[in-house]
Amino acid sequence: MQKRRLGHTTLEVPVIMLGGNVFGWTLDEAASFRLLDRAVDIGLNFIDTADVYAKWAPGNRGGESETILGKWFARSGKRNQIVLATKVGMDMGDGKQGLSAKYIAQAVEDSLRRLQTDRIDLYQSHKDDEKTPLEETLAAYDRLIREGKVRFIGASNYSGARLREALETSQRDGLPRYESLQPLYNLMERDKYESDLAPVVAEYGLGVIPYFSLAAGFLTGKYRASSDVNGKARGAMVQKYLNDRGFAVLQALDSIAAARHASLASVALAWLIAQPGITAPIASATSEAQLDDLAAALDLRLDGAALKKLSAASAA
């Protein structure tokens, strides 16, 4: 399987990252275990989650995804086969949020307990916290790295300016730097990343692990009309893509997928993998068939004409 380095670190990762947001949301514990077993069998051993997953689902409090992963680690004994990423900073309720040193120290212990592990391979700031000095946040991560609880750190949902400021702070103060960026980036969501974040990524050599790589499922082709999204878990997220531009992207995906005997999901991920600086797109799955589509993207090489066709359709 192909692997890529994550930023300047020694951490090598497969070029697809399995999203853990579905564990405890659209997948219950038993189904999550089956999916995780299958993922490891086919080489998808880079998993991303967050402490807040899946707080938005009725009856949840946050921590459900990490808890399921922890139970799976305990049952399967496969922790050492996994490159594990999680995140901190989103609102967990009761004032639990942000990137202060005090909160990070508490939140990492909560995540380690739920995950039933002694270390996190990639610990990410889930969103910027402008109320906390960058020096404080990075020093907190430094302590966790020195303690062996975290190997590397990353950022998500930062602006280009704040990401640059964080990287400059690390360099100036001799603190650990963000080695990765987790931005929103896919065929339907390009402008913010390409105009604001990509220049910083290129300058500092960060690894990029985009989330919503399949645009909340739109790029799989299963949502083509308003009737397709009604009552679906991600219906509200997908509705905004049901327009001329979205249909043009699906038409381009349809054409290339048919010619390559591939799924639309595999083609959309292959386009993303081919973009400059991209390390490992994040995509979730709720079935073995969907997992197979993710794995198939690893071996799908799009030629220049196909890449140009998709880029042109998505830029319209």
In a domain, 1, yes or no: no
In a domain, 217, yes or no: no
Each residue's pLDDT, cut to its tens digit, for the chain (316 residues) gives 578 888 888 788 768 999 999 999 999 999 999 999 999 999 999 999 999 999 999 999 999 999 999 999 999 999 999 999 999 999 999 999 999 999 999 999 999 999 999 999 999 999 999 999 999 999 999 999 999 999 999 999 999 999 999 999 999 999 999 999 999 999 999 999 999 999 999 999 999 999 999 999 999 999 888 777 776 666 678 899 999 999 999 999 999 999 999 999 999 999 999 999 999 999 999 999 999 999 999 889 999 999 999 999 999 6
CATH code of the domain covering residue 85: 3.20.20.100
In a domain, 95, yes or no: yes
Structure tokens at 55: 């707080």
State the amino acid at position 71 in one-letter form.
Answer: K
Which residues have a Cβ under 8 Å from the Cβ of 4 and sit 6 or more positions away?
Answer: 12, 13, 15, 207, 279, 280
Domain count of the chain?
A: 1
93: left (phi over 0), alpha (psi -120 to 50) or beta: left
In a domain, 104, yes or no: yes
In a domain, 23, yes or no: yes
In a domain, 233, yes or no: no
In a domain, 243, yes or no: no
In a domain, 206, yes or no: no
**Would you say 13 and 4 are in contact if contact means Cβ atoms under 8 Å apart?**
yes
Residues with catalytic function? 53
CA dihedral (110, 112, 115, 120) in degrees, to 10, reads: 130
CA dihedral (22, 9, 195, 240) in degrees, to 10, reads: 0
Angle, helices 134-146 vs 101-115, to 10°: value is 40
Q: By residue range, what is the domain housing residue 143? A: 11-182
Q: How do 120-125 and 150-156 pair as beta strands? A: parallel
Structure tokens at 49: 């989650």
State the amino acid at position 104 in one-letter form.
Answer: I
- Name the pTM for this structure: 0.95
